[in-house]
Structure 1
Amino acid sequence: MTRDNFEEYEDPALYDKENGHYLTELPFLLKWASKTKGTILDIACGTGRLTIPLAQKGYRLAGVDIHRRMLKEAKRKSEGEDLNIDWIEQDCTKLHVNVRSHLIYSVGNSFQHFLTNEAQDGLLSSINEHLETDGIFIFGTRFPSAEELLQPSAEEYWRTYTDDDWKVDLSTISHYDALNQIQHYTTIRRYKNSHGEIAEEKRTKISLRYVFPKEMERLLYANGFEIVEMYEDWSETPVTNDSTEMIYVCKKVRSI
């Protein structure tokens, strides 16, 4: 993740309002956590959406993120609880923490924030360095289907939610750069009052890298990993051509 791709994360409280309730990954991560020992690393942990629930189950966590405001919110949320969490502000492509872990994970499609080949290699080599041999790395990323990538450039409605007295309509505009495999998104939030009138409109931009399955297989192998399992969701459904996500369970088979 680069600092010029931060707009969606500049308001951590808003991020949690829109995403904090989403804990679909938790049962899957708990299954793997129960097989491990020692500190678990949460890469690109954000506001601790999964870090905190895992620590509440008695596991020791280290949450790493480059975004200071997101980490500050994570610390605030975990204050007052007797949790074994270390919050670490670092660039995950140049990870240097005093931990060798048996389990590292990254959720929320964070892998897509690493936009270049160099950033992807930096991330995976950093994770390899901090994993024990035969240690497990779990992450998810969106499936690069034609439907996902070839969206119309016109504004498309996404969803609506309630924020205090406001109704918030979310819509997106997307443009896919095929040469660089990067989807550029503009998210539009329109805040409406009780009369349905638009009182405020906010726009944020984010860019996400897409990786195709065979490309990912080669990328992981080059960075010392073997794919153990691959699913289309966190409920362990087998991946198909119609999938929208790819969930990877990888094992470190060699140091690089």
Structure 2
Amino acid sequence: MEWFEKSDFWELTYPFMFPETRIEKAEEDALSLLKLAGFEKGDVLDLCCGPGRFAIPLARMGFNVTGVDITGFLLDIAKYRASLENVEIEWIKEDMRRFRRSGSYDLIFNMFTSFGYFKDHSDNMQVLENVNESLRQGGKFVMETMGKETLASIFHQVTDEETDEGLLLIQRHRIEDGWNRIENDWLLIDDESVLGRWKFSHWIYSAAEIRNMLLDAGFSNVEVYGDPEGAPYNSESGRLITLSTSG
């Protein structure tokens, strides 16, 4: 089983990955990205939707939304949150390498560095090809990740975070394969014991690398930005956002 398929990883790290402030910020980011992409209505896919950070506000805005994720724990939270907001969303538990619906969507989101998890480069390319195939002609694909340029400027071998409840997440990082991959060793502890430890790695991409991959996957145009409002991308950008058009 791959690291991202392990439910305990998402259950135990959830307070760090999806604090309420991050969930609340998603609606503001969604509005900015919709303006950047030029969409006010249509069929939307949130690929690797997690707990529905983007899917739920998009549905509330009137979009027809499908949320896909491989993690049942996160989908259960998404379904519960959607029920509280009384919005209808199609939730699907599936591997992003296998999910493809030809010509079904106007807009597809892949947010929060949810790309590059697969060891085999061809698997990551398969994801991009699936996305391109699932878009209608002229549809848009919005992807957000941590760019290699930004990571290089802020990289620390050890970082840590602590919640108000006293959970401490210690993260050790190591760059591998000539700055192509990052190896991670996460240790979660409280005052009394070790709650979990996970070792995993994923690809890291520069703006040029991800742009070339998107073009190779069949997209006709790729724009690169440094935030949801459309600021230019550079090494000081908090995020690497690509806006790609299906050819």
TM-score by length of 2: 0.84
1:104 partnered with 2:98: no
Give the whole-Å Cα distance in 1 for the aligned partners of 2:151 and 2:141. Answer: 28
Give the whole-Å Cα distance in 2 for the aligned partners of 1:150 and 1:176. Answer: 13
Give the whole-Å Cα distance in 1 for the aligned partners of 2:87 and 2:95. Answer: 24
**1:64, distance to aligned residue in structure 2 (A):** 0.7
**1:138, distance to aligned residue in structure 2 (A):** 0.4
User: In the alignment, what sits opposite 2:163?
Assistant: 161
Give the whole-Å Cα distance in 2 for the aligned partners of 1:230 and 1:27. Answer: 18
The answer for unaligned runs of 5 or more in structure 1 is 192-197
**Amino acid of the residue matched to residue 92 of structure 1?**
M
Does structure 1 retain, via aligned residues, the 8 Å contact 2:34–2:40?
A: no
SS at match of 1:239: coil
Percent of aligned pairs sharing the same letter: 24
Say if 1:147 and 1:83 are closer, same or farther in 2 by CA, change over 3 A. Answer: closer
User: In the alignment, what sits opposite 1:16?
Assistant: 18
User: In the alignment, what sits opposite 1:139?
Assistant: 143
**Amino acid of the residue matched to residue 9 of structure 1?**
W
Does structure 1 retain, via aligned residues, the 8 Å contact 2:37–2:140?
A: no
User: In the alignment, what sits opposite 1:127?
Assistant: 131
Higher gyration radius (CA): 1
SS at match of 1:93: coil
The answer for unaligned runs of 5 or more in structure 2 is none
Indicate the RMSD between aligned Cα atoms, in angstroms.
2.8
Give the whole-Å Cα distance in 1 for the aligned partners of 2:180 and 2:10. Answer: 22
Say if 1:33 and 1:54 are closer, same or farther in 2 by CA, change over 3 A. Answer: farther
Give the whole-Å Cα distance in 2 for the aligned partners of 1:170 and 1:238. Answer: 32
**Amino acid of the residue matched to residue 200 of structure 2?**
I
User: In the alignment, what sits opposite 2:121?
Assistant: 117
Give the whole-Å Cα distance in 2 for the aligned partners of 1:46 and 1:9. Answer: 10
TM-score by length of 1: 0.81
Give the whole-Å Cα distance in 2 for the aligned partners of 1:238 and 1:32. Answer: 13
User: In the alignment, what sits opposite 1:39?
Assistant: 43
**1:29, distance to aligned residue in structure 2 (A):** 3.1
**1:127, distance to aligned residue in structure 2 (A):** 0.6
Say if 1:52 and 1:157 are closer, same or farther in 2 by CA, change over 3 A. Answer: same
32-41 vs 53-62, which moves further? 32-41
1:199 partnered with 2:192: yes
Question: Match for 2:71 among 67, 89, 92?
Answer: 67
Give the whole-Å Cα distance in 2 for the aligned partners of 1:246 and 1:80. Answer: 32
SS at match of 2:78: helix
**1:170, distance to aligned residue in structure 2 (A):** 3.0
1:189 partnered with 2:191: no
Question: Match for 1:243 among 237, 241, 244?
Answer: 237
Higher helix share: 2
**Amino acid of the residue matched to residue 167 of structure 1?**
G
**1:247, distance to aligned residue in structure 2 (A):** 0.4
Does structure 2 retain, via aligned residues, the 8 Å contact 1:227–1:248?
A: no
**1:42, distance to aligned residue in structure 2 (A):** 0.3
Say if 1:172 and 1:11 are closer, same or farther in 2 by CA, change over 3 A. Answer: closer
Give the whole-Å Cα distance in 1 for the aligned partners of 2:115 and 2:84. Answer: 31
Does structure 2 retain, via aligned residues, the 8 Å contact 1:12–1:47?
A: no
SS at match of 2:148: coil
Does structure 1 retain, via aligned residues, the 8 Å contact 2:187–2:194?
A: yes
**1:230, distance to aligned residue in structure 2 (A):** 1.2
Give the whole-Å Cα distance in 1 for the aligned partners of 2:233 and 2:209. Answer: 16
